[in-house]
Amino acid sequence: MQYHIDTQLNDEQRLAERILNHPKFQTMARQKALLGWSFSVIMFLVYTGFILIIGLKPELFATPVSQGGVTTWGIYIGLFIIVFSFVITAVYVVIANGRFEQMTQEVIGEVKENNHE
């Protein structure tokens, strides 16, 4: 019985290795990493810009939106950053769970088909 479990594990390891080495899977992994890092850089620049303005020109955020109003631009910019963070995360999730997951399933199907031949 132990031999069967080891054989099954080795088969699964070989299948995983063929999937990971498949050119389509490697292309998808590079695209996914590029997308993730690109979105990370965008968020880093947005947050860094926000902090730089707070540190160097805080009066910009303290400026009221309307003459005599109490709501400042800082409130709207802060809300924008929060909403933007959710939107960019949602876009990544949709792409990762849509196109990239579809590509992964295609590769798994191809590898399993070739495995049975």
Q: Which tens digits make up the pLDDT trace of 17-72?
A: 888 888 899 999 999 999 999 999 999 999 999 999 999 999 999 999 999 889 99
Higher per-residue confidence, 14 vs 77: 77
Phi-psi region of 68 (alpha: psi -120 to 50; beta: other; left: phi over 0): left
3-state secondary structure of 22: coil
Contact 24, 106 (CB under 8 A): yes
Over residues 98-108, mean pLDDT? 89
Q: How confident is the model at residue 13 (pLDDT cuts 50, 70, 90)?
A: confident
Residue 13 lies in a domain: no
pLDDT computed for residue 3 by the predictor: 44
pLDDT digits (tens, 9 = 90+) for 43-54: 999 999 999 999
Residue 62 lies in a domain: yes
In angstroms, the CA 91 to CA 35 distance is 10
DSSP state letter for 52: H
Q: For residue 82, how many other CB atoms are within 10 A of its CB?
A: 10
Residue 74 lies in a domain: yes
Average pLDDT in the chain: 87
Number of domains in the chain: 1
| Domain around 48 | 19-116
Dihedrals φ, ψ of 93, to 5°?
-65, -45
In angstroms, the CA 51 to CA 56 distance is 9
Residue 5 lies in a domain: no
Two tokens, residue 106: 């295609």
Residue 14 lies in a domain: no
Residue 76 lies in a domain: yes
Checking if the pLDDT of 5 tops 60, the result is no
pLDDT computed for residue 90 by the predictor: 96
